[in-house]
Amino acid sequence: MPTLTCFNAYDIHGKIGEEISEDIAYRIGRAFGEYYASRSVSIACDIRLTSEALNQAVPSGLRDSGSDVIDIGLCGTEEIYFAVFHLNVDDGIEITTSHNPQDYNGMKLVLGCARPISRDSDLTTLQHLAENNAFSSLQMPGSLVHDALLNAYANYLLDYVDSTAMRPLRLVVNAGNGVVGHLIDALNARFQADQVPCTFSKIHNRQDGTFPHVAPNTLLLGNQADTASTVFNTGTDIDITLGDNCNRCFFFDANCRFIDDYYILGVLAWALLCKHPGSKIMHSQCYTWNTIEILQRASGAISQRRTDHVFIMEMIRQKHTIYGGEIISPHYFRDFGYCNSGMIPWLRLIDLMSLAGRSLLDMVDERMAAYPCSEKINYSVAPNEATLERVFDRFAPPPANGGGSC
């Protein structure tokens, strides 16, 4: 019984052909449907070249377990969250591997109401079922229907902005050739139809699974150059750079300055607390002083948690938290089923910019000066063991001096 190494802490992903394949995807679908006795499952996939094949295999496994499958087509992870509670299905699966390299793929799994699955819940059990590959016989396979939700989701997102109060704004939106391009087009069309005075300048908006311009990782500094140069050349008010499967978003202000999520978290938390005083905000332990000061000013309840996608999704649900944020951009909203979204943050930001009559630069400048922080810095070291020993030696507590007090 070979071990399936594609099962990780809170999702499934691995190298195509080595850790994940169509056969493994079928077995995961079969294990999922049989274990949860799912009556109905929504499924979708991102734009990666290997996603379509996996999106054929997983539904086959689900249907052979007796589950009815609703395929909503090409879309980002947050659209699967939306599909689960919009269609009122039992579960959802998105074929994606977020910002991992192009030769990787995988899937994210959620239960009813878009509740996440992790090692702390049932992911290990699903792994063992898929590894054993010993499933019960089935008399009647489930059905398969296709139901695109693009228009429904675009209409849902429009509720996050007050179109009647929107002031003229110039937006740069970089979709990175990911799956989100069609959703940007749909929102742009809705804005025009409703006469919302926002102008979209789109970068790399065409869906292309080869990612011809940048790798599917918006965190890499080299992937931000196109966005910054467009802001500089066009004089836009805000830039929005989206993850390839729409699960994350990053921002530049009108001065081409990259705005760390540390400060975006503070802006969104303040805005939500103004509308919902005393509500609880959950944030990563990496985001401290600026966030704490803002929450104290706004009389918000503070809840710090470790950085972990599924862990935070589970905790904000348990704590009924209105909003949560963590490092590398995931933003979680109670009014979006406690799930993370790459679209809702920028819609809330432009709505706030209009209502407050302030630019993004104005909203974050004071906070960046008061609590400066660097971008994420990575170092390559060798050997790691020797480096860790040096760190432990440097920061070890001083030895006891045998007496006295401090």
Active-site annotation, residues: 98
Contact 44, 71 (CB under 8 A): yes
Backbone angles phi, psi at 199, to 5 degrees: -105, 125
Find out whether 205 and 187 touch, Cβ atoms under 8 Å: no
Tokens of 400: 């006891």
Written as six digits, the tokens of 166 are 């929107």
The angle at the Cα of 205, spanning 200 to 210, to the nearest 5 degrees, equals 165
- Distant-in-sequence, close-in-space partners of 302: CB < 8 Å, separation ≥ 6: 280, 281, 283, 291, 292, 295, 296
Helix (H) or strand (E) holding 361: helix 360-370
Could you tell me which residues are beta bridge partners of residue 331?
325
DSSP per residue, 387-399 = HHHHHHHHHSPPP
Cis peptide bond upstream of 2, omega within 30? no
Strands (E), 96-162: 104-110, 144-146
CA angle 89–95–97, rounded 5-degree value: 130
For 287, phi then psi, to 5°, come to -110, 100
Task: Give the number of other CB atoms < 10 A from CB of residue 403.
Answer: 5
- Half-sphere exposure of residue 134: CA atoms within 13 angstroms, side-chain side: 3
Task: Spell out the residues 6+ positions from residue 231 whose beta carbon is closer than 8 angstroms to its own.
Answer: 172, 239, 252, 254, 256
117-138 exposure pattern, b = at least 16 Cβ within 10 A, e = fewer: bbeebbbeebbebbbeeebeee
Strand partners, 169: 198
Picking from 331, 321, 289, 286, the residue whose alpha carbon sits closest to that of residue 307 is 286
